[in-house]
Each structure stands twice: as C-alpha cells, then as structure tokens.
Amino acid sequence: MNILVPDSWLREYLKTDATPKQIKEYLSLCGPSVERSNFIKDETVYDIEITSNRPDAMSVMGIAREASVILPRFGIKAELQINQLTNLPINKSNKLKLHITTDSKLNPRWTSVIFDSVKIKPSPSWLTKRLELVGVRSLNNVIDITNYLMHAYGQPAHIFDYDKITNGIMKLRASKKGETLTTLDGKIHTLPGEDIVIEDGSGKLVDLCGIMGGENSAITDKTTRIILFLQTYDPVQIRKTSMALAHHTEASGLFEKGLDPELVMPVFLEGIQLIQKLASGNIASSIIDIYPHPFIASTVVVSRTKIDSYIGTHLETKEIKEILTNLGCTTTVDNTKVAVQPPSYRQDIAIDVDIIEELARISGYHTIKDKLPDSEPPAIFEDPILGWEQKLKNKLCDWGYTETYTYSMISKELLDTFNINNQEVYEITNPISTDWVYMRPTLLPSMLLAVKQNMPYENDLKLFELSMIYAYRENNLPQEQSTLIIAVSGSRYGKLKGIAEAIFSLFGISFPTITDPATDYYQQGRSLRLGNFGQLGEIDGALLSKLGINKPITILELSVDQLVKHARLKKQYTPIPKNPASYEDLAFVVSDKTYVAPMMASLKTIDPLITDVSLFDSFNTIRTFHITYQSDTKNLTAEDISKVREKIIKHMKKEFNATLKTV
C-alpha cells in the first residue's frame, strides 16, 4: 500500500533539521520505502510504500514515528512531537440521546458523541490544501475532518446525520444473507451475510461498517445535528466483506489490517476539538466509549544466540535496548535473552523473529557484512517447462512477433460469442469487473480482442501470447495448461504453417500429418488440426464479424505442455554429404480437395535418393514440387534420376490420381 505524506505535515509531528533528500534516503534504508518525492504546489510530497503488516505506519504520524527512530541512527537529530489529547475539557450534555447495542467480537471499541448547531460549510484553506496533497478532494468541513484524521493518524472516522437515525438507536450486528444497503457512492449491495452493519430504530441499515457509510444517513448541506463515530472492527470480517462485495476503500484497507484500539480515544478527542473549531458544533450528548476488553501487552522473547545467528553480527546489549525502546517497546535484556512487550500499535511483533527483524532493519541492513555460507551452494533444478517457454518467446521475438499480455478472465459476453458453456468454465465469486468473470478455457477470445484493439494502429499485426488456460474439471480445481497462441492479420495460412513447422523442429518433433479440420472457430477449408498439439487456420468470418473485426485473421494455437512432453532432447548429427545434390521441379495435375502435405510426405518415402520435397508453386489444379536428389556414395547421373522419376510418376498416379503435367 502506498501513501502520500507532505513534508510540512510530517514536520508538524517530527522536529528535525533533516532535508527532504535525507528523509527519503534514510527512511528507505531502514523503514518504509520512499519510492519517489514529488514537488506539488511548492511542497515536497513523499510517495511511500508501506508493507501490509504495518498499519501503524500508514499515516503521517506513523511515518513521523518511524523517522524519529531512524534518523538519529545516521547522526541526524529527530524528535517525535505529538501532543495527542488524552483529556479534553468538555461541557457534557444529555440534550440528545443515543442508544447503542454492539458486539465486542465484531467491534472491540466503539466511541461516539452527538453535536448540534453544526454549520456545514467549505473547509479552511489549510485543511483543503493538506487533503489535496494526499489525493483527497475537499467536500465540506465536517467530511474533511474525518479524512484529515484518517490520513493524519491512520484511524478512520465516520459521521452520521443524527436526524436520519430513527429514535437515536444504533445496533451493530452481523448482517443476514440477502439484506441490501445503498452506500454513499450510490452502489446497491446485496450482502452475503455475517458482514458488520449498523441498523437504526426502524430496522433499516445505515452503515456497512469499516467499508462505507449508508446513503440514507449521509451528511447534507441541511444537516445541523451529527454523530461523530470512531471504532475498531474484526479485521478478518472486514476483509471478507470487502472481497465478497468487490468494494475496497481506504478505510477498509486500514481496518482489515487490524488497528490499534488505544489510538481511538486520542483521535476521537481531536475530532471533537476540530468539529467545535471548524463547524461550530456543540456537544449535545454524553460521550460513549464501549471498550470491554482493553489492550493487554503480550511478551515476546528471543534468545541472544538466535539474534546473532540471524543477523550475522553481534549486537551489544545497549544497542538492542536502545533500538527497541525507541520503537516504543518495554524491553528487558540480559546475557541470554531479550524480552519485549510491544506497544498497542505494534501488534505485528508477535514472535521472536519479528524482534530480530526490527533490530536488523533499524541497525541497518546495509551494515550487515557479506559472508559466503560454509556449505556448498544448494542445487538448483530448473522447471523444464519454464525453460522451453523462454526459448519459445525468444524465437518468436527473433522472428518479428510481438508478445502480448492479457487478463486470465473473460466476460459473459465473450463466453456467449464463442458458444462456450458457462457450466464448463470456472466463475469468479467476486469479480472486480463484468469484463473479468470467467477463467478462460482458451486464449482465442483474449487474442482476438487484442487484435481488434491494435488494428487501427497497425496493418501488419504479428502477435503472440504464451500463458495459462484453465481446463474445467468437475468438482475439482482447474487444470492449468501452458498454451501458445500466435495471430497474424490477413489470409496467411502458409506463413503460420511454416512457423508451426519451425516450432516443432525446435522441440525435435515430427510435424503432424493429420488432415482433420480445426474447431468451429476456424474456416473448414483453411484450417488444420495438429494432432493433440493444437490447430491453425483462418478464423471463421462470422465470428470475426461478431467481434467487429473486418479483415481476415490467421491463428496458430499450440499446447506447450504437449510440446514439452514429447520433446526430443537428443539431437542427431547428420554429416554434410560429400556428393552434390541434383534438383528438378515436377508439376502434377491433381483433383479438387487434394491435400498437399500428404503428397509431400508420400514423395519422400518413394526412394532413398529423394532427400527433400517442397511445394514450389500452386495454380488451379496444378501442384509443382521442388525435389532434391542426393546419394551418400556417388554422383548421380541422369539415368539414376530418370529411374526415380518414373517411380514418382507411377506412385502419384496410383496414390493420388495425379498425372504429370506435360508441356
């Protein structure tokens, strides 16, 4: 996950003289990776990648906390200065009531308070600018406060219109399968069940907790009474709901990683202060804080021997204690072990190697000295299919073809276009788009779409993709099959047949002589099935019309799995003949629908002196073959060739009813 952190906002929590360049370099060496720094509106903004196990660092304050520990390791003074509110002078009121029912398993901590006399208006310029720098559009002062708190502290906040909550009743519970809720973005969601939701006194759902609020409780320009609401949720359930509904928000991205329950109240109090200051809100209820199971720090122990073994160097007691204490841990160190109680915001420190990781990164991965292992290097066994795939890709690129990458999923529309039974393909439970619903059983739909998209820009298309297809197996996981597809624009059957022959030669496999036509996607008179290896030919015109393609397309499909299975790794050496070859062209008149490939294969078997046969020309019913004669033992005479020629003429008449064309 990447976050944006403006330099001026960072320095509000971090007192340091470090330059933006130093912050970028040193943070990347020992902590969150600063991928780039952008200069926006006279402000340096850091684009920082945070690993998914560190929700505590997914905020401006979290980065400030990390920098306050890392910068001093490079001789730069840095001090964390966060005056989090723990107690706020509040004029409590019982003017308005809020009746709460919650579930501590789904909702470990709930805090809320009601304001009245709230004025909805544009935010001040300082708040608008900060939100814009982190990629958030300003809406109004109240909504902007919630976004500000989330980006500042990594704790999402939500605000309801109090007058839209029937009878002031809020009940947090697990949803029932089939319940529906329209969220703030106007999307209607049918819930799968067990999702965390809030219903009001009328029984209507007003919040899809941890993901997005309900449209029916949203703030408008006419809102005057609001509920400020901060909380933590069961991260597993938030993740399940987000995935099931294909609905991901910044808030869900935080909640699903597990947030610090101790952070809720300080951020809640700052939210109260901001609403009072920026929206003129008056507290109109008591503060509700439901926190039945407060955080209790656990103890994680690691041996000193294991630390030294993993890091490859000895860390002194003073350095270990300094690093871990600065990270907020309560630390006890003796000669044999290190005992650590992580703070509430570092719940990712759960086992001994987590402590080692913290020591290694803060002391500096760049300081660890290289050392070769004492034992011999491990044996590496290359997956044979990966090696062949790379060879194929290299060859095709050398031959002038361009590799394409397409999604492994196809739409319901494509499924119908290709007459594929949706009961014999795998449907994705939570597709993120209607274009990607089914796992493709063939590469053909994806390739033809790629051809269509590229046709306006290139007349002579030569594309290929080497990827997986997903063969259906009833009541089982799909069988992934490595497959190659090549596409060229135009009627170029002969060209792709030549490519197919070259590929078979690369694998040491004889080119199949089967003459069965390809599947229904191909023109029956201009296609060929290549045994169990695949098929090639021109695509059926009706299918192309359905896809909006108005010119012929020729396709070659090959199973890489089958090619690798039958590959002949041993090469046979044939010495260069000592005697010269003789050549002649013979033209035969053939009947309609006579296949050339069987004729060529048959010609090669007539006599040992025939070493090669190729098709020289084809016109109407005439097929001209270029024939090579050669002997290993002598120079051929005209008489030798004449005898073989007679055999050829008789054989062609008998086997194919083909007669030699005379002038």
Name 556's bridge partners. 486, 536
Does residue 572 carry a pLDDT above 80? no
Side chain identity at residue 277, one-letter code: K
Provide the pLDDT confidence category of residue 90 given band limits of 50, 70 and 90: low
| pLDDT confidence of residue 513 | 66
Domain membership flag for residue 485:
yes
Cβ neighbourhood burial of 103 (10 Å; 0-12, 13-18, 19+): middle
Distance CA 13, CA 21 (A): 18
| pLDDT confidence of residue 394 | 96
Distance CA 547, CA 473 (A): 28
Distance CA 526, CA 259 (A): 63
Q: How confident is the prediction for the chain on average, in pLDDT?
A: 92
Distance CA 247, CA 188 (A): 11
Domain membership flag for residue 373:
no
Name 79's bridge partners. 15
Q: pLDDT of 297-327, one tens digit each?
A: 999 999 999 999 999 888 999 999 999 999 9
**Same domain (yes/no): 256, 204:** yes
Say which CATH number the domain at 411 has: 3.30.930.10
**Same domain (yes/no): 163, 216:** yes
Domain membership flag for residue 596:
yes
Q: How many residues does the chain have?
A: 663
Domain membership flag for residue 431:
yes
**Number of folded domains in the chain?**
5
Handedness of CA 116, 117, 119, 124 (dihedral sign): negative
**Same domain (yes/no): 171, 284:** yes
Which helix H or strand E contains 409, and what residues bound it?
strand 409-410
- For residue 4, report the phi and psi dihedrals to the nearest 5 degrees: -105, 135
Instruction: Using alpha carbons only, give the angle 407, 412, 418 rounded to the nearest 5 degrees.
Output: 85
**Same domain (yes/no): 271, 187:** yes
CB 455, CB 489: distance < 8 Å = yes
Does residue 448 carry a pLDDT above 70? yes
Distance CA 41, CA 19 (A): 18
CB 113, CB 267: distance < 8 Å = no
Cα of first residue to Cα of last residue in the chain, in angstroms, is 78
Look up residue 468 and give its two tokens: 């997986």
Look up residue 211 and give its two tokens: 């993901």
**282-309 average pLDDT score:** 94
E strands within 321-427?
Answer: 330-333, 337-341, 402-403, 409-410, 426-427
**437-466 average pLDDT score:** 94
Domain membership flag for residue 34:
yes
Domain membership flag for residue 377:
no
| pLDDT confidence of residue 41 | 86
| pLDDT confidence of residue 207 | 96
Distance CA 252, CA 259 (A): 11
**Same domain (yes/no): 153, 227:** yes
Lowest mean pLDDT among 302-311, 323-332, 431-440: 431-440
- Which of 255, 290, 325 is the endpoint of a domain? 290
**Same domain (yes/no): 343, 410:** no
Q: Residue 112: name the closest of 61, 157, 148, 55 by CA.
A: 157
**210-217 average pLDDT score:** 94
**Same domain (yes/no): 311, 270:** no
Q: pLDDT of 507-517, one tens digit each?
A: 999 888 666 77
Domain membership flag for residue 52:
yes
Distance CA 512, CA 525 (A): 18
Say which CATH number the domain at 47 has: 3.30.56.10
Say which CATH number the domain at 636 has: 3.30.70.380
**Same domain (yes/no): 188, 260:** yes
SS3 for 231? Answer: strand
Handedness of CA 176, 178, 182, 188 (dihedral sign): positive
The answer, as to whether pTM is greater than 0.75, is no
**Same domain (yes/no): 122, 251:** yes
**Interior/surface letters 369-380, b for 16+ CB within 10 angstroms, e for the rest:** eeeeeeeeeeee
**Same domain (yes/no): 472, 590:** no
Torsion, Cα of 258, 259, 262, 265 (10° steps): -140
DSSP single-letter state for residue 256? T
Cβ neighbourhood burial of 393 (10 Å; 0-12, 13-18, 19+): middle
Percent of the chain with pLDDT over 70: 98
CB 117, CB 282: distance < 8 Å = yes
Look up residue 644 and give its two tokens: 């073989």
| pLDDT confidence of residue 514 | 67
Does residue 145 carry a pLDDT above 70? yes
**359-373 average pLDDT score:** 87
Domain membership flag for residue 577:
no
- Which of 512, 532, 565 is the endpoint of a domain? 565
Distance CA 93, CA 81 (A): 32
Higher pLDDT, 262 or 430: 262
| pLDDT confidence of residue 419 | 92
Which helix H or strand E contains 98, and what residues bound it?
none
**472-490 average pLDDT score:** 92
**Left if phi > 0, otherwise alpha if psi is -120 to 50, otherwise beta: which for 37?**
beta
CB 2, CB 47: distance < 8 Å = yes
Q: pLDDT of 597-607, one tens digit each?
A: 889 989 999 99
Query: Tokens 């997986």 label which residue?
Result: 468
SS3 for 622? Answer: strand
- Which of 290, 319, 350 is the endpoint of a domain? 290
Distance CA 392, CA 485 (A): 11
**Same domain (yes/no): 334, 389:** no
**Left if phi > 0, otherwise alpha if psi is -120 to 50, otherwise beta: which for 562?**
alpha
CB 483, CB 468: distance < 8 Å = yes
CB 631, CB 579: distance < 8 Å = yes
Does residue 518 carry a pLDDT above 80? no
SS3 for 549? Answer: coil
Q: pLDDT of 387-406, one tens digit each?
A: 899 999 999 999 999 999 99
Domain range for 434 is 384-565
**Same domain (yes/no): 18, 112:** no
Provide the pLDDT confidence category of residue 432 given band limits of 50, 70 and 90: confident
E strands within 416-529?
Answer: 426-427, 438-439, 462-471, 479-489, 522-529
